[in-house]
Structure 1
Amino acid sequence: MRVFVSGATGFVGVNTVKKLIKYGHEVVAFVRNKGLAEKLLDRQVDVFQGSIEDFDTVYSGLKGCDAVIHIAGQIKAHNLDDLYTTNRIGSRNVAVASRRLNINNVVYVSSLAARGPDGAGSVVSHYGYSKRLGELEFIHNLFDANLKIIRPPIVYGPFDKGLLELFRMARLGVLPKMDKYYSFIFIDDLVEAIVKLINLDFDSPRIYCISSGKYHCKEINQALLRAAGKNGAFYLPLNDKIAMAGLLFSTSKSPFSRDKIREIKPKAWTCDSERLNKDIKFSPTIDIFTGFDITFRWYEEHGWI
Structure 2
Amino acid sequence: MRIFLTGATGFIGSALVLELIKADHQVVGVTRSDAGAEALAAAGAEVYRGTLEDPEGLRDGAAKAEAVIHTAFDHDFSRFVENCEKDKRVIAALGAALAGSDRPLVITSGVGMGSPGHGQLAIEDVFNASHPNPRIASEMAGNALLDAGVNVSVVRLPQVHNPVKQGLISPLIGIAREKGVSAYVGEGRNRFSAGHLSDAARLYRLAVEKRQPGARYHAVGE
Aligned partners of 1:63 and 1:34: how far apart in 2?
23
Letter in structure 2 aligned against 1:166? L
Q: 1:85 to 1:53 in 2, by over 3 A?
A: farther
C-alpha RMSD of the superposition: 2.4
TM-score, normalisation: structure 2: 0.81
Q: 1:208 to 1:80 in 2, by over 3 A?
A: closer
Deviations 1:178-203 (A, max 9, x none): 2421111011111111111111133x
What SS does the corresponding residue of 1:176 show, helix, strand or coil? Answer: coil
Structure possessing the higher radius of gyration over alpha carbons: 1
Deviations 1:188-235 (A, max 9, x none): 111111111111133x3111223123xxxxxxxxxxxxxxxxxxxxxx
Contact 1:7 1:72 in 2 (8 A): yes
Aligned partners of 2:64 and 2:175: how far apart in 1?
47
Of structures 1 and 2, the one with the larger relative CO (CA 8 A, separation 6+) is 2
Q: Quote the sequence identity (%).
A: 24
Aligned partners of 1:28 and 1:40: how far apart in 2?
9
TM-score, normalisation: structure 1: 0.61
For residue 192 of structure 1, the aligned residue among 195, 198, 202 is: 202
Q: 1:9 to 1:103 in 2, by over 3 A?
A: farther
Letter in structure 2 aligned against 1:138? G
Uncovered stretches (5+) of structure 1, i.e. residues with no partner: 214-305
Q: Give 1:111-130 correspondences, 5 Å limit.
A: 111-116=110-115, 118-119=119-120, 123-124=131-132, 128-129=133-134
Aligned partners of 1:169 and 1:148: how far apart in 2?
38
Where does structure 1 differ by over 6 angstroms across 4 or more consecutive aligned residues? none
Uncovered stretches (5+) of structure 2, i.e. residues with no partner: 122-127
Instruction: Report the counterpart of residue 124 of structure 2 in structure 1.
Output: none
Stretch of structure 1 that moved more, 179-188 or 150-159: 150-159
Q: 1:190 to 1:80 in 2, by over 3 A?
A: closer
Shift of 1:48: 0.7
Instruction: Report the counterpart of residue 150 of structure 1 in structure 2.
Output: 155
